[in-house]
Amino acid sequence: MPTYCYVNDMLGHRVTRVFPVGKAPRTVRLDGHLLRRDFAAEHVGVPPTKGWPIECIGSGVNASQAGELRQYLRDKGVPTEVSRDGNPIYRDAKHRRKALKARGLYDKSAFM
């Protein structure tokens, strides 16, 4: 069952309650105080930085070419760390997009 958030801003009370889907009330009582449902707190997403940096095997090169790839990306204005195995290590989605573009690569599954 999902967890729902309730708040009373004047008193500073914040609580969570578990209800079946579609059965959560808009308000609940806690020690005689009315708390309203906090929809914004329920829809907090995962930060976009989660999982970064990543080592990309799909856009990697042979281990013997790691230095060449590192130099090539630096010359293109996208300095990138490359592992000993030849896999680029992207700091974030923007860095990844720029590095792939510099190499003429495109990830159709990344919605870029």
Tokens 């974030």 correspond to what residue? 92
Task: Kindly report, residue by residue over 49-88, the tens digit of the pLDDT.
Answer: 567 899 999 999 999 999 999 999 999 999 999 999 999 9
What pLDDT digit, counting tens, does each position of 1-37 carry? 788 999 988 888 889 999 999 899 999 998 888 999 9
The residues spanned by each domain of the chain are 3-42, 54-102
Task: Please report the sign of the dihedral spanned by the C-alpha atoms of residue 89, residue 112, residue 76, residue 61.
Answer: positive
* Helices vs. strands in the chain: H and E counts, helices first: 3, 7
For the chain, the farthest-separated pair of C-alpha atoms sits apart, in whole angstroms, at 70
